[in-house]
Amino acid sequence: MSMMIDKALIEAENATRRPDLAQDYEALGARLARRGVDIEALTTRAMGFGVAVPSWGTGTGGTRFARFPGEGEPRGIMDKLDDCGVIHQLTAATPRVSLHIPWDKADPSDLRAKAEELGLGFDAMNSNTFQDQPDQAHSYKFGSLSHTDAATRQQAIAHNLECIEIGQQIGAKALTVWIGDGSNFPGQTSLSWQFDRYLESMKAIYAGLPDDWRIFSEHKIYEPAFYSTVVQDWGTSLMTAQELGPKAQCLVDLGHHAPNVNIEMIVSRLIRAGKLGGFHFNDSKYGDDDLDSGTIDPFRLFLVFNELVELEDTPGLDLAHMIDQSHNVTDPIESLMISACEIQRAFVQALLVDRVALEGYRQENDALMAAATLREAFRTDVEPILAMARLRAGAALDPVSAYRASGYRAKVAAERPRTAAGGGGIV
């Protein structure tokens, strides 16, 4: 049974907000027209924007200390897809889901049928060689694709090939590889030979990639390895993508950098190298916090999109926009809806940058006015554009309000048994 939200409820919710939106949209339209900007063009772009939801984000996350599950946690991938269907229904901004294998392993035809029923597609597949599964022959305690033991490496390669195979059956077109391999002590591993082994394994996976697929290499500065990590930054990720070939690109997870790193610069460099494949959006204060997008540093998110918009006509640029978050104290559906809207907001704000003026200020070395040009776009309240995009797509003007009014969580809680609280874990 589909758990989608009743359309009449969304319409009733929207009806109460429509008059205000009409006024706000008109006022913003007039304001933008004075700047020579057509609000309708922006609304069309907003409607065309989509970001994928991570299946694993629909359950309450946890830290290594504890997990505090909420009501009605999804029991498996079919429940997760139901939740993703609601997120898309109410935001019209999340048309695809990114799966993690083996967490989401199921009969591919069931996955396809369920997604179809919910109007969803699938984005990049994610492999998992950072945990041991109950039935596996070789442990990843000391690494996976870069392990010293050839049989362990082979097992990790085979898992990635299986992810591609599953993905092919459900219409996915990319595989994201993130490994936890590294070391906890200086001297524990050879920084050089370990990377060579990783590359060799990645080449074996690349060889099994269909022609119309891409493989994304995701870097992360540290964790779970605390002294060294094999793919620790965008330099190693770029080396990997260049070594593998044209179907290999880099994935930037916003939380995977040291504090203060200029991520928008990394984005620009990777695009210029033809090697930016996609994103894992989230926000962070300290490390890989996986907090909701745009909740800590919305200006940084805007600056990332500023680069994307400035370079959007780059030939061959085809980005997989995905969210990667962990929700510990909120209803994951609400967090994912808010995040999708914040990502979409950053995109629309970046579209507002007066690029002709900006380039003029750059040429004149007018640093103050160049920065002011960006701020003018960032400070513009584009909510009426986002809301209008949702209204026209049949989604909710206020997704969280409609979701709460629907009683969805209580309804699914009646079917989904409470999950156990307790020890840590990332999902």
* The residue type at 126: N
Segment 310 to 339, residues that bind ligand LRH, using CB under 6 A: 324
Smaller CB distance to Mn ion: residue 177 or 374?
177
CA 7 to the chain's CA centroid:
27
CA dist., res. 360 & res. 374, Å (int): 13
> What DSSP line would sit under 1-36, residue for residue?
---PPPHHHHHHHHHHHHHHHHHHHHHHHHHHHHTT
Segment 246 to 305, residues that bind ligand LRH, using CB under 6 A: 253, 280, 288
Selection from Mn ion, ligand LRH, none that 334 binds (CB < 5 to 8 A by kind) is none
Residue from 91, 94, 98, 126 in contact with ligand LRH (CB under 6 A): 126
Selection from ligand LRH, Mn ion, none that 96 binds (CB < 5 to 8 A by kind) is none
Segment 7 to 46, residues that bind ligand LRH, using CB under 6 A: none
Tell me: does residue 178 bind ligand LRH (CB under 6 A): yes
Give the sign of the dihedral formed by CA 339, CA 340, CA 343, CA 349: negative
Selection from Mn ion, ligand LRH, none that 257 binds (CB < 5 to 8 A by kind) is none
- With 0-12 / 13-18 / 19 or more C-beta atoms within 10 angstroms meaning exposed / middle / buried, residue 398 is middle
> What DSSP line would sit under 81-95, residue for residue?
HHHHHHHHHHHS---
Smaller CB distance to ligand LRH: residue 51 or 358?
51
Cβ of 96: how many Cβ atoms within 10 Å?
21
Segment 348 to 407, residues that bind ligand LRH, using CB under 6 A: none
Tell me: does residue 219 bind ligand LRH (CB under 6 A): no
Binding-residue pattern over the window 54 to 83 for ligand LRH, x denoting contact by CB under 6 A: --x---------------------------
Selection from Mn ion, ligand LRH, none that 126 binds (CB < 5 to 8 A by kind) is ligand LRH
In Å, the largest CA–CA distance within the chain is 66
**Angle between helix 355-363 and helix 367-379 axes, rounded to 10 deg:** 160
Residue from 79, 288, 292, 334 in contact with Mn ion (CB under 5 A): 288
Is 270 in contact with 234 (CB distance < 8 Å)? yes
Smaller CB distance to ligand LRH: residue 195 or 281?
281
295-298, Cβ contacts within 8 angstroms, sequence gap of 24 or more = 295/338, 295/342, 298/342, 298/345, 298/346
Tell me: does residue 218 bind ligand LRH (CB under 6 A): yes
Selection from ligand LRH, Mn ion, none that 342 binds (CB < 5 to 8 A by kind) is none
Residues contacting ligand LRH: total by CB under 6 A: 10
CA dist., res. 97 & res. 84, Å (int): 7
Q: Give the footprint of ligand LRH on this chain (CB under 6 A).
A: 56, 126, 178, 218, 220, 253, 280, 288, 324, 426
User: Which residues form the interface with Mn ion (CB under 5 A)?
Assistant: 253, 280, 288, 324
